[in-house]
Amino acid sequence: MKQLTFLFLLFLSSFILSQNSNLENSYIEVLGSSVKKVVPNEIYLDIFLKERIEKGKKLNLETLENQLKNALINIDISAENLFISDVNAVISKTGWFTKEMFSTAKYTLKVSSPKKLKSFFNCLDELKITQINITKATHSKLTELKKENKIAAIKAAKEKAYYLLDAINEKLGKPVFIKETESNKNQNFANTSNLLLNGYTSGISKLKRNKTITQFEEIVLKTSIFIKFKIE
């Protein structure tokens, strides 16, 4: 009889310890998300200039560069945002039996908004620039904006856990596991139409060019935070 009583008490003790252990290891798992959209304020373009003959006179690179700088100043884009990145020379026919060497140069231009980019595109016909590519679109405060987005996501996760537990009269404990996932759409590049990505063509109408610039995409920052909280 004593042996049965001992076994019963041992079983009861194990059951209570098991219950307490389950309570101590009770968790809630939640996912908090935050999305932030920003308009790029640093848009980089490659602009290609080539010397040419116009009205019997050769327009050299210096002249073409000065024309470009003046056009930028007229649309309120600082000429300091224009950098030369490469210079080459090509031999082209100027007549049936004559050839001449023409210099070509690649410039990098930084503009601060799609609106200014649109203004610049409206100057291309006058400047007779026939090749231009957008290489990157980003934001000067991207690191700070990503940090703000992460903070918003983790706060959203905590708020979600709190109101879910409050609905069943339980209390939120300390976090025991945190994992971040991040997705930044168009973080460093402008996903516009092929007109911009593959290069500007002087034959494209201004209406179509303006429509393309209007459709310039925002940078989308999306962060999700997975958190595992203890239930007190």
* DSSP string over 100-129: EEEEEEEEEEEES-HHHHHHHHTTHHHHT-
Q: What are the beta bridge partners of residue 36? A: 221
Residue 184: its pLDDT value, please? 63
In sequence order, the 6+-apart residues with CB closer than 8 A to the CB of 197 are 133, 134
Cα–Cα distance for residue pair 193/208, rounded to 1 Å: 11
Question: Regarding predicted confidence, which is higher, 198 or 78?
Answer: 78
First to last CA, the chain: 40
21 φ, ψ (degrees, to nearest 5): -65, -40
Checking if the pLDDT of 102 tops 70, the result is: yes
Could you tell me the CA-to-CA distances from 80 to 20, 117, 161, 188, 189 in Å, in that order?
A: 70, 16, 51, 22, 22
Residue 41: its pLDDT value, please? 92
Confidence band (pLDDT; 50, 70, 90) for 76? very high
User: Token pair for residue 94?
Assistant: 């100027």
What is residue 40's three-state secondary structure?
Answer: coil
What rounded mean pLDDT belongs to the chain? 79
What is the set of domains in the chain, with CATH numbers?
A: 41-137+190-215 (3.30.70)
Q: pLDDT tens-digit profile of 152-196?
A: 999 999 999 999 999 999 999 999 999 998 766 655 544 443 334
User: Token pair for residue 46?
Assistant: 């490659």
Checking if the pLDDT of 31 tops 70, the result is: yes
Mean pLDDT across the stretch 70-77? 95
Lowest mean pLDDT among 26-35, 85-94, 146-155: 85-94
Residue 186: its pLDDT value, please? 57
Mean pLDDT across the stretch 25-38? 93
Mean pLDDT across the stretch 137-144? 93
Cα–Cα distance for residue pair 117/216, rounded to 1 Å: 10
Residue 213: its pLDDT value, please? 55
Quick check: 66 and 148 in contact, CB under 8 A? Answer: no
81 φ, ψ (degrees, to nearest 5): -85, 5
DSSP H or E run through 149: helix 142-166
Residue 210: its pLDDT value, please? 52
User: Token pair for residue 186?
Assistant: 């168009």
Question: Regarding predicted confidence, which is higher, 197 or 2?
Answer: 2
Residue 97: its pLDDT value, please? 59
Lowest mean pLDDT among 54-58, 81-85, 92-96, 99-103: 92-96
Checking if the pLDDT of 202 tops 90, the result is: no
